[in-house]
Amino acid sequence: MEFKETIRNLEPEIIKSIQESIKIKSVEETPVEGKPFGQGPYNALVYMLKLGENMGFKTKNFDGYAGHIDFGDGDETVGVLAHVDVVPEGDGWTYPPFGGEIHNGRIYGRGTMDDKGPAVIALYAMKALKDIGFVPDRRIRLILGANEESRWECMKHYFKNEEPPTMAFTPDADFPVIHGEKGIIGFDFKFPYAGTTGCDITLLDIKGGNATNMVPDKAWSKLKVADKELFISQYDKYLVGKDHKISIEETEEGFNVTALGISAHGSTPAKGENAISYLIGFLGYIYSGQCPVCRFINFYNERIAFKHHGEDVGCGLEDELSGKLDFNPGLISYDGKDIILSVNVRYPISSSAEEVFSGIRESIKETPIELVEGSIDSRPLYVSKDNELVKTLMKVYREQTGDMDSEPITIGGGTYARAMKNAVAFGPVFPGQEELAHQKDEHISIDNIIKLTEIYAHALFELAKH
């Protein structure tokens, strides 16, 4: 069945809808009644449900946690799982992160690729099928969550109230097909620090990062110094031969120090430049001795900084199916009593959270560092390459792209596919395409919008017919 002309006619509507969705700042906020993740995610969810309703589809809002949009009937269901919330925007954007502006044939904004753009595209793929008169044998259901970027309470609530689809894909990763995803855990390293050091420089405060599943692009510390001229001299020497950005601002007490990095998705820490690591690298240069904060700085610089696989903190795990563990120190803070470093880990498919934690506990037992284990363990996903869902999506991908060489892959990212059985991730990032999720200047090209709509329409057609 041919969709190209129908989809091409829908192009202005698709572009407008993506722009309108991007303009809704759907970063998680303080809950209010009926809006469990705050006003922004709620508005984004309602926008999508209203858009589906205006297309003539049946919709349902599940208490502001999630919603779905239905096309057709049937005892079996083909699901598309997408989310409308986004991570914080971060700094350094060329164009407004919630502007939805078009430049050079691209729509810019937080969520254009992760995951509002693909959510809108999947909905218009459903509309294209409806417009050509297709009657699905299996109901097609677009399921929308509103806090995928944090705790997944949206999917927990949804699947308490609805049966999962017979099969599903999520447009929230890479092509060709993601048949395996690493496990995901978060935890804290806690370091007791009373605020005095015994050094000529006292660390008064430290902050960095926007979310644990983002490589931090900014980190900051407040220092009290005994000798300002000496400090400036040390700073100038440190900068020699370095191309990353460390800046200082003099205050009455001493100096504020700011480090800038480059954000990336927490599942691919090597693709970013961690501002926390840059900042603590500088602190390691200006601090010396065995004062309490020196011990933390040395621990970080020797065993964590720019080591993306946990190899020096006891969790350098690896398997043939999914590769090395990914280790992202995403947040740092000081609460007046402890320095807290929050870490996001993606562990190999054949490993477990306990294997990670036991290795770390053993590694740090001779240090003052305390491991605070997180309560969430998003266990690995694995679907065989011989599964009919995987085979059908691979067939569609190859037919639509002409790429006959690619095979199903595994990733470190976590998608809604692991929220149910018989689900995989399918796009939207093509092989070789720059990964833009969680980065500044996130964008989607208009050419790819149309191509993705064609791919998802064909995929839904193949999956929804007997």
377 is catalytic: no
- The one-letter amino acid code at 328 reads N
Instruction: Please provide residue 355's backbone torsions phi and psi, each rounded to the nearest 5 degrees.
Output: -65, -40
Enumerate the β-bridge partners of residue 60.
68
**d(Cα 234, Cα 231) in Å, to the nearest integer?**
5
Cβ-Cβ contacts under 8 Å for 89 (sequence gap 6 or more): 27, 97, 98, 110, 440
172 is catalytic: no
Distance set, CA 416 to CA 170, 375, 378 (Å): 6, 19, 11
CB atoms within 10 A of CB 208: 27
CB contact at 8 A, 143 and 158? yes
Distance set, CA 36 to CA 48, 151, 152 (Å): 17, 12, 12
Instruction: Please provide residue 411's backbone torsions phi and psi, each rounded to the nearest 5 degrees.
Output: -140, 170
SS3 content of the chain, % helix, strand, coil (to 5): 30, 30, 40
Question: Token digits for 149?
Answer: 């970027």
**d(Cα 26, Cα 146) in Å, to the nearest integer?**
8
- The one-letter amino acid code at 183 reads G
**d(Cα 52, Cα 255) in Å, to the nearest integer?**
53
- DSSP reduced 3-state for 363: helix
End-to-end Cα separation, the chain, in angstroms: 15
What value does the CA radius of gyration of the chain take, rounded to a whole number of Å? 24
Distance set, CA 172 to CA 82, 337, 424 (Å): 7, 39, 10
Of the residues 28, 89, 115, 148, only one is catalytic, namely 148
What length does the chain have?
466
Question: Number of C-alpha atoms within 13 angstroms, CB side, residue 242?
Answer: 17
**d(Cα 349, Cα 262) in Å, to the nearest integer?**
28
CB contact at 8 A, 215 and 266? yes
- DSSP reduced 3-state for 21: helix
**d(Cα 98, Cα 335) in Å, to the nearest integer?**
31
**Could you list the active site residues?**
85, 148
